Structure 1
Amino acid sequence: MSDGDPESPGGTPRRGTAGGRRGALVGCVAVVVALVGPLAGSAGALSGPVDEPVSAAELDRFAEAHLERVGLPGATIAVTRGDQVVHTGGYGYDSEGNPMRPDTPMRIASLSKSMTALAVMQLVDRGDVELDRPVRDYLAEFEIADPRGDEITVRQLLDQSSGMSDRTFHDASRPHQPGSLTEAVAQMRDAGLAADPGAEWTYHNPNYHVAARLVEVVGGEPFEEYLESRVFEPAGMRDTWSLGAADSSDQAPALGHIRAYGVNIAVTEPDGFSTGSGGVVSTAEDMARWLILQGDGGRLPDGTPLVSAEAVEEMHTPSAPNGRYALGWMRRAPEDSGGSTQVWHGGVVSTYSSYQVLVPETGYGIVVLFNSGITLNENDTGQMLEGLIALTEGRTPPSEGSVLWKVDAVFGALTLLVAALGVRGVLRARVWASRRAGRPWWATASRMLPHLVPPAVLLSANAAATFIMGGRDGTWLQRFYGIPAELIFLAVGALVSLAVLAARGVALSRVGRRPQPLP
């Protein structure tokens, strides 16, 4: 899972959150969020052009204060204006306790999609690919189970309107993850379509696996090497690379973090295939160069075009049916962003998250990279992005604290309460069984059946999370990394219920074998 809610201003999966709220797990979360209070929006509207550039000191003060206020482990930022780098900075610490720096390598998750899109647009500039022709014209190996797959165009891959969906192809939870782009495309032969190509927008990472494989075949070299030689090296992004299928290799950056009960825990990113959709590692310094390239019509610092200005405009212009998703980028109108038109994208995996934003009205570009991943909500990371945007627009940034630790505290208290009640239930099993001696079996069974509900809720938690996230697929480990306090609560509830059932069952059997008094 390499993206959270792609429609959210704050960026899965990440931890992606979308869709209706149903089921026991969702109900608990909804109640807790209602108790701890609503999330606050961004402050103020853009009042006009900002003449004076924001100072590095302002950016540093806000970023440092925000990390301390919400408890994030670490972050790096890049702020540009026009063709100039305004500031790059690092805040907090990495998983080894080292201070974060602007050159600290970070997983950028689904910001990688904009780089895959640029690689495709280079092929378009060369005349080797046309966006509105079928993918199979260039990639004959691309076959899916639905015959409508032959109609999917290159554009529909990039704007996520191909009709492919996590609901019809479970890429993240497949027991065998592909070892290459060739294998990733081959595995799609049993995929279906959730809609006609071009009819609906559905965020689906395999769209970009296919696009990356197209770059390999048409570009004539492995995708990672193509990005290195045709994109990163000419753009001066010397500390940026695309991970291969083995994300746990020596190429991977330092461990990222999950967040639970107010603590940041360093963990390894779960195995998963992300080449083309979310496999790039970069730094704030290199991402500053990426922002300038995007904001300057695809030109390198010496004026040489890496990609045409027309291609950049195409990448930034929505073409999907939802009216917002473009080609590896999205666009937000002023009424949705709180003040300005924004060309942006978010990314999130289990242990890292990221945002990139271009603001045409002010000429600013902003990248924020975090070494913590998907959570119950994106307020903590999203607020930092919104605060940086506010500073560049002369507005007061938001200053709310974190809701996440409050939610976790409530679930932690509920977990302890359930565990205590479970211990009490086990210790009193003999008393409970004695009171039911001689009663009809069905009456006793009816008192035990409710204890099957918590295990059933736990078993359905992954499906419930998938529903909440609008059908986004994920493994149990990815879900746990995203909502550890909630799943621990459900797991303890399930174990306690089973323990009470077992204790009462044993006690009932002993009561049944007890000698009856003589008449």
Structure 2
Amino acid sequence: MLFTRARPRQPRRRAPTGARRRAVGAAAGCALAALAAPGPAALAQEGGTSAARLDAFAERYVERTGLPGAAVAVTKGDEAVLTAGYGRASDGAPLTADSPMRIASLSKSFTALAVMQLVEAGEVELDRPVRRYLPEFRIADPRGARITVRHLLDQSSGMSDQTLPDASRPRRPDSLKEAVARLRAAGLSADPGSEWNYHNPNYHVAARLVEEVSGRPFGAYMSRKVLAPAGMDDTVALETAGAPSPGLEDGFVRAYGADIAVPEPDHFSAGSGGMVSTAEDMARWLVLQQRGGLSAAGERVVSAESVAEMHTPSSRDGRYALGWMRREPEEGDRARLPQIWHGGALSTYSSYQFLVPETGYGVAVLLNTGIALTEEDAWGLAEGLLALAEGRTPPEGGSSLWKVDAVFGALTVATAALGVRGLLRSGAWAQRRRRRPLWRAAARLLVYLVPAALLAAFQPAVDFLLGGRDGTWLQRFYAIPAELSFLAFAAFTCLAIAAARVTALVRSRRW
């Protein structure tokens, strides 16, 4: 198997990224041809395309969408067709194929593999209750005794963000043991196995199970038993989403046409979303999946039967498998084939991975920007790379974020101007109403409470629209900074006007 190997890490400096990326693409194409592997020419004959064209498309996509940076891996069977980086990190250095990136919920597929290793060793059975292996797992609902290991991995345990709002709890756990212990206060929103609910603590419990059964800390187990055999030497499993890691820079929040580097809000994510990886390592991960658990170096990490189990949906929603999901093409869409996939989103990083079993293609995209309301950049870049590889016309990609931010920026400026006007005219407003019934004046002021009411209702409304998914105010703000800034500013301005007019009205009636 051939990997497009990144250059040794050099001292960080600013460099013209376009020339570097073109060089990476050209070098990849030349190396593939020189080794007579089934590279660009063969891919073109199979409906694929060259590494250079994939590289050019990814570079153009990043530029058109205004993304600060992305790293991608495209594989075919046991071959890495392209691994490359585009744009920059928050310290100004160019991103490369070996730049560390947070991979968010892609971490779940790694945790599932660790559990499957224990299943193969005869130490765990998927359809046995979790308590058989992890006696400390207790929840308030007695139905919790029926939760199986499979229920954790396919997110059908019955636990959910509605019964345990994990993200917004004031204090995060300090260890997997503590994360499991705090579930004692949790209830269930459904019978185990009867309903699918995406809930990160399912994977906290799964990671703790790995610790208990193996006798090793989760991170150490992952390093020794999963990552090292897979050849993923630059990948680490961290306990929290914002934990530091060597070479890892802050990601970005996008607002008002600018990319703003900010630290990732820290929350507990061991087993569910705490891993850091690179495009090079993600290529190895995709190849391992396509080779039925065999690493690029030929080492058996997990059996082909276990890989098939992880890729096969078992939850009631018919889509979620064990750390992976399955997507069927829409009816009448003959251009697409079934995909095995998973996405991940933090506030400052996002990711996407998928496999196409029928063609052997795999794609992973890592972005140093988080989720945004109007954008699906990780999915769009991954789908575009696949379309080009399969000989279809890929979408060019574009961004409407700047338009949305421009509208809300203009509304914020207009609100400021009207707010100043309203404050300055408070005295005149009160004079006109000094002899009128107070209830009429109060009724006129009610409209100024609307923005504050909307702001107060924002968090529960978003939770409802996201199917009950829990989140903090900071996470919501990072996703839609322009919109929330406008709403908060409008609420503050309207309350200030209302207070000024009430004060002026009281004074006018004293005279």
**TM-score, normalised via structure 2 length:** 0.89
For 2:338 and 2:293, how far apart are their aligned partners in 1? 20
> What is the 5 A alignment of 1:243-392?
243-245=238-240, 247-251=242-246, 253-335=248-330, 339-392=336-389
Quote the offset at 1:363 in angstroms: 0.8
> What is the 5 A alignment of 1:164-203?
164-203=159-198
Q: Equivalent residue of 2:330, what SS?
A: helix
Q: How many residues align?
A: 467
Residue 427 of structure 1 is matched in structure 2 by 424
Q: How has the CA–CA distance of structure 1 residues 246 and 264 changed in structure 2, closer, same or farther, with 3 Å as cutoff?
A: closer
Does the 8 A contact of 1:173 with 1:474 survive in 2?
A: yes
For 1:197 and 1:107, how far apart are their aligned partners in 2? 31
Deviations 1:203-243 (Å, cap 9, x if unpaired)?
00000000000000001100000000001111110100011
Does the 8 A contact of 2:106 with 2:352 survive in 1?
A: yes
Quote the offset at 1:49 in angstroms: 10
Does the 8 A contact of 1:180 with 1:245 survive in 2?
A: no
For 1:399 and 1:249, how far apart are their aligned partners in 2? 34
Deviations 1:293-342 (Å, cap 9, x if unpaired)?
01100012343321011000000000010111000001111227861111
Q: Which amino acid aligns with 2:383?
A: E
Residue 15 of structure 1 is matched in structure 2 by none
Does the 8 A contact of 1:113 with 1:328 survive in 2?
A: yes
Does the 8 A contact of 1:179 with 1:246 survive in 2?
A: no
Does the 8 A contact of 1:77 with 1:366 survive in 2?
A: yes
Does the 8 A contact of 1:466 with 1:472 survive in 2?
A: yes
Quote the offset at 1:280 in angstroms: 0.4
Residue 59 of structure 2 is matched in structure 1 by 64
Residue 409 of structure 2 is matched in structure 1 by 412
Q: Which amino acid aligns with 1:476?
A: W
> What is the 5 A alignment of 1:29-178?
51=46, 53-178=48-173
Match of 2:444 among 444, 447, 459: 447
Q: Which amino acid aligns with 1:287?
A: M
Quote the offset at 1:417 in angstroms: 1.3
Quote the offset at 1:249 in angstroms: 3.6
Does the 8 A contact of 2:242 with 2:263 survive in 1?
A: no
Deviations 1:261-287 (Å, cap 9, x if unpaired)?
121110000010000000000000001
For 2:378 and 2:49, how far apart are their aligned partners in 1? 20
Q: How has the CA–CA distance of structure 1 residues 246 and 417 changed in structure 2, closer, same or farther, with 3 Å as cutoff?
A: closer
For 1:351 and 1:301, how far apart are their aligned partners in 2? 31
Q: Which amino acid aligns with 2:475?
A: Q
Quote the offset at 1:51 in angstroms: 1.2
Q: How has the CA–CA distance of structure 1 residues 252 and 145 changed in structure 2, closer, same or farther, with 3 Å as cutoff?
A: farther
Quote the offset at 1:169 in angstroms: 0.2
Q: Which amino acid aligns with 1:233?
A: A
For 1:283 and 1:74, how far apart are their aligned partners in 2? 13
Deviations 1:36-91 (Å, cap 9, x if unpaired)?
xxxxxxxxxxxx99615421111111111111111110000011111111110100
Structure 2: give runs of 5+ residues left out of the alignment.
Answer: 1-42
Quote the offset at 1:244 in angstroms: 2.6
* Aligned-residue identity in percent: 64
For 1:475 and 1:72, how far apart are their aligned partners in 2? 24
Structure 1: give runs of 5+ residues left out of the alignment.
Answer: 1-47, 515-519
For 1:385 and 1:82, how far apart are their aligned partners in 2? 17
Residue 10 of structure 1 is matched in structure 2 by none
Residue 474 of structure 1 is matched in structure 2 by 471
**TM-score, normalised via structure 1 length:** 0.88
